[in-house]
Amino acid sequence: MNMGNSKVWTLVLLLAVLAGVVYYYMAGLQRRSGIFFENEDQSVPVEITIKDPEFHLVAPDHLKYKQPSLVQGRSDVVTVTPWLAPVVWEGTFDPSLLDSVYRLKNISVAVTVFAVGKYTRFLPDFLKTAEQHFFLGFRVRLYVFTDQPDKVPKVSMAKGRQVMVRLVPISKRWQEISARRMELIQTLIEAELQSNTDYIFCLDVDSKFHGRWGTESLGSLVAVIHPGYYTTPRTGLPYERRPQSRAYVAHGEGDFYYCGGAFGGILQEVYLLAKTCRTNFEADAKDGIEAAWQEESHLNRFMWINKPSKVLSPEYLWQDFKAITPEIHIIRFSGVTKNYADIRPN
Ligand code: 5GW
Ligand code: MN
């Protein structure tokens, strides 16, 4: 073997190794894209499992439920957004079908609720009615953030459901309570929920459940349409309109006006929302500006850019003082009418 020959052999060897690497990579790509795993027969076990709670809806075989229709259903309301997120109204979903799907996933749901100062008076009704209507039969943890843990009532809860009390220092200004909510949600997700929770909802305490709030509300990023503005033209929506604020939504822009009193989704999405709203709220404060409706304004700015993957109709946060309109077939959750002079600190 002379020098020329050995160079040729080295080249051939290198090419062979390269071809092997390319083949291995392509096969991997194909495997990841699922091509090798397509199978028509669900009874043949597949090699991959999908862990994300949001995707891959598996229904138990032989589950009996009403046949879905393409030509009948709610026609008095819009049930999908222009970015194709469902808008949840009574009559658009099958509760037992959805419960069966999510039961197989054994999901766990966290709720945050703040009861600072005089707002502890809302806790008994909030917690009692949550136990009657919120994710019945599922694992639920209700995190109560309060400055007076002794005022948290002992509510008897079903198996797998519990109230967790977290101490927060009393805030000087009420606007601060708003700002701190996002901060505390952010740290709760970071420090406690990541390992044991799939979904989180953040709710106002001055409200009660009156009807089912369950698996139909689950999504990556979930927003609730404010009951006061769902027929209002864009120009009349109370977004923050000053460009100096980080909550700014320009005239002629905005989809819906969403509630600050109820939002949720998977942990990662709500974490990003809380972090973004908090950072923007604090940066605004440094510049001496406070958005028109505090964190609700920041939430609306966030949802304008980050479109919610599921939108809940005003059934999911009504207001007790509002007369019911024909499109509302059920009130699930509603804000209690409160005497502001009586409960607000300043
Ligand atoms: C106090 C004064 C003004 C505004 C808010 C508060 C306040 C709010 C408070 O003293 N203690 C408290 O726990 N909160 C929490 O923030 C409650 O969870 C309350 O539901 C939430 C939002 O405040 P809300 O309900 O008074 O706001 P709106 O817009 O529903 O009336
Ligand atoms: Mn409220």
**pLDDT for 109 beyond 90:** yes
293 lines ligand 1 (CB under 6 A): no
**Between 136 and 11, residue with greater pLDDT:** 136
**pLDDT for 3 beyond 80:** no
% of the chain residues with pLDDT over 90: 78
328 lines ligand 1 (CB under 6 A): no
Please tell me the residue having the least CA distance from ligand 1 atom 11: 116
Asked if residues 6 and 12 have their Cβ atoms less than 8 Å apart, the reply is no
CA of 335 to the centre of ligand 1 (A): 11
> How many Cβ atoms from other residues are within 10 Å of residue 12's Cβ?
10
At 4, the pLDDT band (50, 70, 90 cuts) reads low
CA of 119 to the centre of ligand 1 (A): 7
Contacts for 51 with CB less than 8 Å, ≥ 6 apart: none
**Beta strand 207-209 with 199-203: parallel, antiparallel or unpaired?**
unpaired
Helix axes 267-286, 294-305, angle to 10 degrees: 120
CA of 172 to the centre of ligand 1 (A): 13
Domain residue extents for the chain: 8-49, 54-59+76-343
Distance CA 207, CA 279 (A): 27
pLDDT tens digit sequence for 275-292: 999 999 999 999 999 999
Please tell me the residue having the least CA distance from ligand 1 atom 9: 116
pLDDT for the residue numbered 34:
39
pTM of the model: 0.86
Atom nearest to 145 CA in ligand 1: 13
290 is catalytic: no
At 340, the pLDDT band (50, 70, 90 cuts) reads confident
Cα 317 to chain centroid, rounded: 14
The CATH superfamily of 54-59+76-343 is: Spore Coat Polysaccharide Biosynthesis Protein SpsA; Chain A (3.90.550.10)
pLDDT tens digit sequence for 39-66: 455 566 556 665 666 778 999 999 999 9
119 lines ligand 1 (CB under 6 A): yes
pLDDT for the residue numbered 6:
76
pLDDT for the residue numbered 50:
55
pLDDT for the residue numbered 54:
72
pLDDT for the residue numbered 7:
82
Please tell me the residue having the least CA distance from ligand 1 atom 23: 204
116 lines ligand 1 (CB under 6 A): yes
